[in-house]
Amino acid sequence: MAEGDEIISTDPEERKRSERWAEEGGRPPEKICEQAIKEFNELASKKFWEGQKEHGGCLDDRDCIAEAKKEVIDLWFYLCSAQQQVLLSNDEYARINRQMLFYKDLSNR
């Protein structure tokens, strides 16, 4: 993981685990799998039923290939925006770090 690529979470326990794994060289594959499946299970059912309310009908009766292509296009835009958010947060981190170093230097004079 490159400096500045750290995951930022508001959950203190999640932050502690992330910091520990970063010190140990990253999450073990078992944890990557476990966390991804856990999050999927927490989100999937709710998302499915929200889609049923929004679109109605039986999923098996829809053109799933065409619908999936539309979803991939949506995903592309989400990824582009997420990338921009990361770049902006890294820029903000760098700005704050420069400011901190400036004040540290001032205090040492």
pLDDT interval class at 46 (50, 70, 90): very high
pLDDT interval class at 9 (50, 70, 90): low
Pick from 47, 5, 7: nearest CA to 31: 7
- Is the confidence at residue 99, as pLDDT, over 90? no
Contact 18, 7 (CB under 8 A): yes
Give percent of the chain above pLDDT 90. Answer: 44
Pick from 51, 53, 79, 82: nearest CA to 67: 51
